[in-house]
Structure 1
Amino acid sequence: MIPNKNEMIAAYEARHGKELQKKLSAATVAVCGLGGLGSNISIALSRAGIGKLILIDFDKVDISNLHRQQYKANQIGLPKTEALSCNLSEIAPYTVVETHCVKITEENAVDLLSGADIICEAFDNPQAKAMLANTVLEKLPGKFYVGASGMAGIGSTNEIKTRRLSKYFYLCGDGVSEVGKSEGLFAARVMACAAHQAHTVIRILTGQYDV
């Protein structure tokens, strides 16, 4: 049986405290890219009781995604926005989910992201990462941006850290092991980086700005 909304809020408040949870419930977070990083970020934030998630990705679930991304075998072929939205509805039925099955570009990023309090970058393409960071920092001043750099390979998860590069720009990862330049992608290490990003979002929303 699915608990009602008041029961869910009470459960969050019991774990997080009423005032802290009020901030999380009022927040809107955009997740750009719904692969290994983005799908895990989204689930972590939904479990924390974030009020609204804006999910953006143009891709479909592929069998090659299943070893590290939060999708199911019976979802192969579905748009990632649709599949992840469905999975989140089972985990956190009262989180508002807005989906955009499109590729983020310099031209549409502002329209897609202007409603978010915090923007999470979860791409695996260096050019896309640079484009989004530059666009957000230049055209959406005052928006917090949480990016990622380096989570591939079998190095220690202790190498993954969060750095604050500027007032509004945070970067999570080891800064070295980019996709395609090491031994591959492993769920545990990707999830560790995603956890850094999700927890950075929570800290920002609760006024903890230092890493």
Structure 2
Amino acid sequence: MGSAIPKQYLMLGALPMLRHVLDTFASASVIAHTYLVVSPEDGYIDALLADAPELSDRVTLLRVGGATRHQSVLNGLHALQDHVAGDDWMLVHDAARPGLTVALIEQLIAAVGADPVGGLLALPVADTLKRGRDDRVEQTVERAGLWAAQTPQMFRHALLVQALEQARQVTDEASAIEALGLQPLLVQGSTRNFKVTLPDDADLATLILNRTP
């Protein structure tokens, strides 16, 4: 992002990126509680939460983040071990997706229902995909059946802990579940729920957030 601060604390309009996400989860009546996992060295989160006293009853801070998303999620799940049941549903969301809405959360939960595996928001791939080598097109990749994974990703606590403990290199929770031989449910997401990765993405996210969901 070329930013002097972690991207989740960049201002998108009047609020930091992370605050948009926390406000969305706090507004969702289907969410029992939100646990925010940050690095023990995070020097920004205290000020953000101090500016949002209305979140104090809805959000609990866990300073157990690791070097990777994989480790941060697993550490967070371990920290909750004595506070949740094994079959409680966990929704894992990336703070860099500030365009999430309450409607998308509700849509995911309704679609997954009592599914034995769980599921995730995702979008069917619409672009033509190219596999490259040395800055040249090597092959056009067939896009039929391909989906771009989003978050939240929703799985039961015990199953997700098992999957992440056994996984080696995974970039999301669903891939850890897949490594167990299971098939998560794909639930249609939204283009507004994209991941802020490049500087221009922050401008686009601000435009989206300034619109009525």
Q: State TM-score, norm by structure 1.
A: 0.37
Bigger radius of gyration? 2
Q: State TM-score, norm by structure 2.
A: 0.37
Q: When you count strand as a share of all residues, which structure comes out higher?
A: 2
Q: When you count helix as a share of all residues, which structure comes out higher?
A: 1
